[in-house]
Amino acid sequence: MSSDKPYSADSQLDIDALLFHNKPTPGKLAIAATKPMSTQRDLALAYSPGVAAPVRAIAADPDAVYDYTSKGNMVAVVSNGTAILGLGNLGPRASKPVMEGKAILFKRFADIDAVDIEIDYTDPEEFIACVRGFGDTFGGINLEDIKSPECFDIERRLREMLDIPVFHDDQHGTAIIATAGLINACDITGRKLEDTKVVLCGAGAAGLSVLELIESIGVRPENTIVVDIDGVVYEGREGLHERLAKHAVKTEARTLAEAAVGADVLLGLSAAGVFTKEIIASLAPNPIVFAMANPTPEITPEAVKSVRDDVIMATGRSDYPNQVNNVLGFPYIFRGALDVRARTINEEMKIAAARALAALAREDVPDEVAVAYKGERLQYGRDYIIPSPFDPRLISWVPPFVAKAAVDSGVARLPFAEGVNYTHTLARRLDPTAALQQRVAASIRAEEKTIVFAEGEEPSVIRAAHAFQSQGLGKAILVARENVALANMRELGIPTDTLEICNARLSEHNSDYADFLYGRLQRKGYLRRDVQRLVNNDRNVFSACMLKMGQADGMVTGVTRHSNVVMRDVKLALEPVEGGRAVGVAAAVSRGRTLIIGDISVTEFPDAQALAEIAIATANAARRFGLTPHLAFLSYSSFGNPPGERSEKMQHAVRILDELGVDFEYEGELAADIALDPDHHELYPFSRLSEPANVLIMPAVHSASIAVRLLKAAGGATVIGPMLVGLEKPVQIARLGASVTDIVNLASIAAYDLNKPTA
């Protein structure tokens, strides 16, 4: 399918989305090798002649393909683009961004490698034949955005043909999450599933799958009524396709309003505005309403609340409680299925996933979830019947239920590895970069901080400030001349009334800042006119004064100036925290490990006292990121061997921490490989580190900078930072020419405040 008219983005979000998908590399996926390919021997083992050995092994035992290839952790995300989101039949090419997005969700939430495959066949027979042809190369198939009713037959027949899990997420993903919510909603309202009267509005793929799954867990078919676009699905109604005809019931009701009278549960998978206030008023006492149409539900919680206050409500949206979100399901269902090499995803596995999610919602809510709800300590109840998609326990909670159900129902090739080791293995799969950023974003949304963007005339800074504010991360203030900033906003297509602009020269606080700065600098060679000129003309100085005087909570700068120049300007107005010092910290995140490294940008050659202060600031930053610090002072030596002046400096820093009695693990001096070795106690049984180091203190800025760049370039780590800690107010300094995403991330870090003590 194609259009004669070129697409024109009509909002800043659309523009940003196009840039996100285009820069720096088109698309959202890449393929990375899992083995080194640097020597002739590597090539010989990876391809000819070495590859012949696994070929022969698989020929002798076909299941050995799981042992010698990536099949066991590889899912194909397959679509023909006939039902893309809410956009309709736009064809396979147009579906590719969505399928790539689905693939990265597999990776992000469950560490499953996924490949998107878009097929240019609308005929079901051709589509089925195509998928059957390539299907066996994958560990599972996720069907997506295929129109109803063809999707039902396509999934059923492929499940019969292929010896791997085939899962149509549009059907079963929503069904599993909605079923989990219904289990808990019935529990809270004191209902038994077998006695519950259910009305389903919307007889598409998702709606019928929800109905069938809740019937599998106890809802009786005779207690359900289905309503589609033509009204109630009743016995004798003509023109029903086979899947829908199975749900026809004897009833006098012919409209949704008639069917809903006295119903306990109203499920919506239809369209915006379909549920009226009159329909809500006619439901049974303590009704359960799941309005799951996206992006606008069948009725809003506000409208329901205006009619009655005894409703348990769920929607598909993240800005309301009880979000029915498919990402709670498919990554973890496939994770469990792949881990036992399941041949299919059957009803038992789907029920197990639903019951697992329902059980997780009844557990104590972790901090990562609590802060996402503006600090409210949520607990199981009417507004919390479904776990948050960002609950970090999902990866280790749901897959074991699914894997066990696969084994118990006889569709697994491997036994279930029940126990602590399996759950720990699952937990380590979580993308640590995303976990860090998720923790930051959730927290600052709850705290609503004001962040100053000091270089407010720069287009990239304006876009970052707009993104920061529109994402609900906090309030943004641009320090800029109004005419320049407004002209650039109009050029960028950003509404000119969305961002506050503060002109340093014209600010009502200008003289107050000058008075403060003169009092601070008059004995350091500055005249009154000098500090007035700084306040008027230097946006970094002005912004730092805003922080000092309480007109803002944090600032981000550095896009147009070198970091050492920015630091000099900022320190004219701000001091280090009491008893501390400014420190540049980086988080280097790679698969299964996060390292917090300091100091990488501020103190060039720290002495022992400075190293101790750097250690304290860096350990606190690690805690703010949710890590328990296990800190190592690094050197070329370990515990005095070989001896040297620089290693003695690190030893002295350890003694200073001994005297201070800090409340985290630390050790040193240690060579880097020893500090990161989980078995280093075998050689050094006296080491105070109970686990491999995750906080590394470097002997000098140059060694820290070199290490971080090596980790990024050669080690494949994702590096966040440098992040500035240790100033009395949160300031983050971007690199010259930083991207919009980098600026937004640093603004978020400023709002998060890495100096803030952890509970």
Q: Catalytic site residues? A: 47, 102
Q: Facing residues of 556 across strands? A: 453, 732
**DSSP string of 230-292, one letter each residue:** TEE-BTT-SS--HHHHTT-B--S--SHHHHHTT-SEEEE-S-TT-S-HHHHHTSPSS-EEEE-
With residues binned 3-state (H G I as helix, E B as strand, rest as coil), the percentages for the chain, rounded to 5, are 45, 15, 40
Structure letter (DSSP) for residue 523: G
**DSSP string of 632-645, one letter each residue:** EEE-SSBTTBS--H
Query: Rounded to an integer, what distance in angstroms lies between the CA atom of residue 633 and that of residue 593?
Result: 18
φ, ψ (nearest 5 deg) of residue 746:
-70, -35
Instruction: Identify the helix (H) or strand (E) that includes residue 697.
Output: strand 695-697
φ, ψ (nearest 5 deg) of residue 694:
-120, -5
Query: Rounded to an integer, what distance in angstroms lies between the CA atom of residue 633 and that of residue 687?
Result: 13
Verify cis geometry, omega within 30 degrees of 0, for the bond prior to 295. Answer: yes
| Sequence-ordered list of residues with C-beta below 8 angstroms from that of 735, at least 6 positions apart, any chain | 558, 563, 742
**Please, what sign has the CA dihedral across residues 52, 57, 60, 66?**
negative
Q: Kindly state the tokens that stand for 370.
A: 């609590």
Q: Kindly state the tokens that stand for 751.
A: 């709002």
Which amino acid would we find at residue 497? D
Question: Cβ distance 346 to 416 under 8 Å?
Answer: no
Question: Cβ distance 350 to 178 under 8 Å?
Answer: no
Give the residue from 535, 539, 531 showing the smallest Cα distance to 481. Answer: 539
Q: How many CA atoms lie within 13 A of 596 on its CB side?
A: 28
Residue that the structure tokens 């479904």 belong to: 386
Structure letter (DSSP) for residue 429: T
Query: Rounded to an integer, what distance in angstroms lies between the CA atom of residue 619 and that of residue 663?
Result: 10
Q: What angle do CA 105, 106, 112 make, to 5 degrees?
A: 150
HEC letters along 121-156: CCCHHHHHHHHHHHHHHCCEEEECCCCCCHHHHHHH
| Sequence-ordered list of residues with C-beta below 8 angstroms from that of 709, at least 6 positions apart, any chain | none
Query: Rounded to an integer, what distance in angstroms lies between the CA atom of residue 17 and that of residue 103?
Result: 17
**Please, what sign has the CA dihedral across residues 37, 40, 45, 46?**
positive
Structure letter (DSSP) for residue 451: E
Instruction: Identify the helix (H) or strand (E) that includes residue 602.
Output: none
**CA distance readout (Å), 636 to 376, 648, 651, 669, 699:** 48, 11, 12, 8, 10
**CA distance readout (Å), 359 to 218, 498, 707:** 17, 42, 44
Question: Cβ distance 631 to 615 under 8 Å?
Answer: yes
Query: Rounded to an integer, what distance in angstroms lies between the CA atom of residue 705 and that of residue 710?
Result: 9
Question: Cβ distance 335 to 140 under 8 Å?
Answer: no
Q: How many CA atoms lie within 13 A of 544 on its CB side?
A: 28
